[in-house]
Amino acid sequence: MLAAVLAGPVAAQTATPAARGAEIFASVCFACHGAQGQGTAGIAPALAGPLSPALARPEGRGYVLRVLLHGLSGRIVSQGQTFVGAMPSQAALSDADLVALGTHLTALNGQTGAPFDAAEVATARAESPAPSHKALRELRARVMP
Protein backbone atom coordinates (compact mmCIF):
# COMPACT_ATOMS: atom_id res chain seq x y z
CA MET A 1 0.00 0.00 0.00
CA LEU A 2 2.76 2.45 0.93
CA ALA A 3 4.57 1.70 -2.32
CA ALA A 4 1.43 2.55 -4.31
CA VAL A 5 1.00 5.84 -2.46
CA LEU A 6 4.64 6.75 -3.04
CA ALA A 7 4.50 5.71 -6.69
CA GLY A 8 1.45 7.90 -7.45
CA PRO A 9 3.25 11.28 -7.62
CA VAL A 10 6.21 9.77 -9.46
CA ALA A 11 3.92 8.17 -12.02
CA ALA A 12 2.12 11.49 -12.52
CA GLN A 13 5.42 13.28 -13.06
CA THR A 14 6.73 10.77 -15.60
CA ALA A 15 3.50 10.14 -17.54
CA THR A 16 3.18 11.66 -20.99
CA PRO A 17 0.72 14.57 -21.21
CA ALA A 18 -1.70 12.32 -23.11
CA ALA A 19 -1.54 9.57 -20.46
CA ARG A 20 -1.75 12.07 -17.62
CA GLY A 21 -4.70 13.80 -19.31
CA ALA A 22 -6.54 10.48 -19.60
CA GLU A 23 -5.92 9.83 -15.88
CA ILE A 24 -7.25 13.26 -14.93
CA PHE A 25 -10.29 12.84 -17.17
CA ALA A 26 -11.00 9.45 -15.61
CA SER A 27 -10.83 10.87 -12.10
CA VAL A 28 -12.47 14.28 -12.59
CA CYS A 29 -14.61 14.46 -15.74
CA PHE A 30 -16.00 11.01 -16.51
CA ALA A 31 -18.80 11.00 -13.92
CA CYS A 32 -20.68 13.68 -15.86
CA HIS A 33 -19.17 13.57 -19.35
CA GLY A 34 -18.83 9.77 -19.67
CA ALA A 35 -15.78 7.53 -19.76
CA GLN A 36 -15.12 8.28 -23.44
CA GLY A 37 -16.39 11.87 -23.35
CA GLN A 38 -19.69 10.79 -24.92
CA GLY A 39 -21.76 12.90 -22.50
CA THR A 40 -24.67 11.93 -20.28
CA ALA A 41 -28.19 12.79 -21.40
CA GLY A 42 -29.73 15.46 -19.22
CA ILE A 43 -26.55 15.95 -17.20
CA ALA A 44 -23.56 16.99 -19.32
CA PRO A 45 -22.80 17.36 -23.02
CA ALA A 46 -20.44 15.21 -25.04
CA LEU A 47 -16.86 16.42 -25.16
CA ALA A 48 -15.73 13.90 -27.78
CA GLY A 49 -16.56 15.31 -31.19
CA PRO A 50 -18.37 18.59 -30.56
CA LEU A 51 -15.25 20.36 -29.27
CA SER A 52 -13.31 19.68 -32.47
CA PRO A 53 -14.20 22.98 -34.23
CA ALA A 54 -13.48 24.98 -31.08
CA LEU A 55 -10.12 23.30 -30.46
CA ALA A 56 -9.09 24.12 -34.03
CA ARG A 57 -9.28 27.90 -33.40
CA PRO A 58 -7.46 30.13 -30.90
CA GLU A 59 -10.69 31.68 -29.61
CA GLY A 60 -12.17 28.20 -29.15
CA ARG A 61 -9.10 26.94 -27.32
CA GLY A 62 -9.41 29.98 -25.05
CA TYR A 63 -13.04 29.08 -24.38
CA VAL A 64 -12.18 25.48 -23.41
CA LEU A 65 -9.33 26.63 -21.18
CA ARG A 66 -11.47 29.23 -19.41
CA VAL A 67 -14.28 26.75 -18.80
CA LEU A 68 -11.75 24.40 -17.24
CA LEU A 69 -10.39 27.22 -15.07
CA HIS A 70 -13.67 28.89 -14.09
CA GLY A 71 -16.37 26.28 -14.61
CA LEU A 72 -19.61 26.98 -16.45
CA SER A 73 -23.19 27.25 -15.31
CA GLY A 74 -26.48 28.05 -16.93
CA ARG A 75 -28.21 26.93 -20.10
CA ILE A 76 -26.22 25.61 -23.06
CA VAL A 77 -27.26 23.73 -26.17
CA SER A 78 -25.02 21.01 -27.56
CA GLN A 79 -25.88 18.70 -30.46
CA GLY A 80 -29.53 19.71 -30.22
CA GLN A 81 -29.80 18.91 -26.51
CA THR A 82 -30.30 21.56 -23.84
CA PHE A 83 -28.34 21.31 -20.63
CA VAL A 84 -28.92 23.43 -17.54
CA GLY A 85 -26.44 22.79 -14.81
CA ALA A 86 -23.08 23.70 -13.42
CA MET A 87 -19.63 22.42 -14.22
CA PRO A 88 -17.23 23.13 -11.36
CA SER A 89 -13.98 24.96 -11.83
CA GLN A 90 -10.90 22.79 -12.24
CA ALA A 91 -8.56 25.63 -11.21
CA ALA A 92 -7.14 23.45 -8.43
CA LEU A 93 -5.36 21.42 -11.12
CA SER A 94 -1.80 22.49 -11.85
CA ASP A 95 -0.98 24.27 -15.09
CA ALA A 96 0.74 21.09 -16.32
CA ASP A 97 -2.34 19.02 -15.47
CA LEU A 98 -4.60 21.46 -17.33
CA VAL A 99 -2.34 21.17 -20.38
CA ALA A 100 -2.48 17.37 -20.05
CA LEU A 101 -6.28 17.43 -19.76
CA GLY A 102 -6.44 19.66 -22.83
CA THR A 103 -4.24 17.17 -24.67
CA HIS A 104 -6.71 14.41 -23.80
CA LEU A 105 -9.69 16.51 -24.91
CA THR A 106 -7.90 17.18 -28.18
CA ALA A 107 -7.36 13.43 -28.68
CA LEU A 108 -11.04 12.74 -27.90
CA ASN A 109 -11.80 15.06 -30.80
CA GLY A 110 -9.52 13.28 -33.27
CA GLN A 111 -6.74 15.84 -33.19
CA THR A 112 -3.14 15.69 -32.01
CA GLY A 113 -1.16 18.02 -29.82
CA ALA A 114 -2.14 20.24 -26.92
CA PRO A 115 -4.74 22.95 -27.40
CA PHE A 116 -2.80 25.26 -25.07
CA ASP A 117 0.51 25.42 -23.27
CA ALA A 118 1.56 26.18 -19.69
CA ALA A 119 2.25 29.86 -20.47
CA GLU A 120 -1.24 30.28 -21.90
CA VAL A 121 -2.74 28.57 -18.83
CA ALA A 122 -0.79 30.89 -16.53
CA THR A 123 -1.95 33.96 -18.47
CA ALA A 124 -5.58 32.83 -18.37
CA ARG A 125 -5.31 32.00 -14.68
CA ALA A 126 -4.04 35.54 -13.99
CA GLU A 127 -6.91 37.29 -15.84
CA SER A 128 -8.61 39.82 -13.65
CA PRO A 129 -11.46 39.92 -13.43
CA ALA A 130 -12.10 36.31 -14.37
CA PRO A 131 -14.69 35.92 -17.13
CA SER A 132 -18.23 35.50 -15.86
CA HIS A 133 -20.24 32.42 -16.75
CA LYS A 134 -22.45 34.68 -18.88
CA ALA A 135 -19.37 35.86 -20.81
CA LEU A 136 -18.27 32.23 -21.25
CA ARG A 137 -21.71 31.25 -22.60
CA GLU A 138 -21.52 34.17 -25.06
CA LEU A 139 -18.05 33.03 -26.14
CA ARG A 140 -19.40 29.50 -26.53
CA ALA A 141 -22.07 30.79 -28.90
CA ARG A 142 -19.30 32.20 -31.13
CA VAL A 143 -16.97 29.19 -31.14
CA MET A 144 -19.28 26.18 -31.00
CA PRO A 145 -21.36 25.24 -34.04
Average pLDDT of the chain to the nearest whole number: 90
| Nearest-angstrom CA–CA distance, 134 and 30 | 25
Q: How many domains does the chain divide into?
A: 1
pLDDT digits (tens, 9 = 90+) for 116-135: 899 999 999 999 999 999 99
Q: Kindly state whether residue 10 falls inside one of the protein's structural domains.
A: no
- For position 76, what pLDDT does the model report? 95
Sign of CA dihedral 85, 91, 141, 33: negative
List of residues 6+ apart from 9 with CB closer than 8 A? none
Indicate if the pLDDT at residue 74 is higher than 70: yes
| Nearest-angstrom CA–CA distance, 91 and 73 | 15
Q: Which domain holds residue 55?
A: 16-143
pLDDT digits (tens, 9 = 90+) for 11-31: 455 689 999 999 999 999 999
- For position 14, what pLDDT does the model report? 60
Q: Kindly state whether residue 124 falls inside one of the protein's structural domains.
A: yes
Q: What is the pTM of this model?
A: 0.87
Return the CATH number at 70. 1.10.760.10
Q: Kindly state whether residue 125 falls inside one of the protein's structural domains.
A: yes
Indicate if the pLDDT at residue 1 is higher than 70: no
Q: Kindly state whether residue 102 falls inside one of the protein's structural domains.
A: yes
Query: Which of the four pLDDT bands, split at 50, 70 and 90, describes residue 9?
Result: very low
Q: Kindly state whether residue 128 falls inside one of the protein's structural domains.
A: yes
Q: Kindly state whether residue 42 falls inside one of the protein's structural domains.
A: yes
Find the mean pLDDT for residues 79-101: 96
pLDDT digits (tens, 9 = 90+) for 19-73: 999 999 999 999 999 999 999 999 999 999 999 999 999 999 999 999 999 999 9
Indicate if the pLDDT at residue 7 is higher than 60: no
| Nearest-angstrom CA–CA distance, 113 and 107 | 8
Q: Kindly state whether residue 3 falls inside one of the protein's structural domains.
A: no
Q: Kindly state whether residue 52 falls inside one of the protein's structural domains.
A: yes
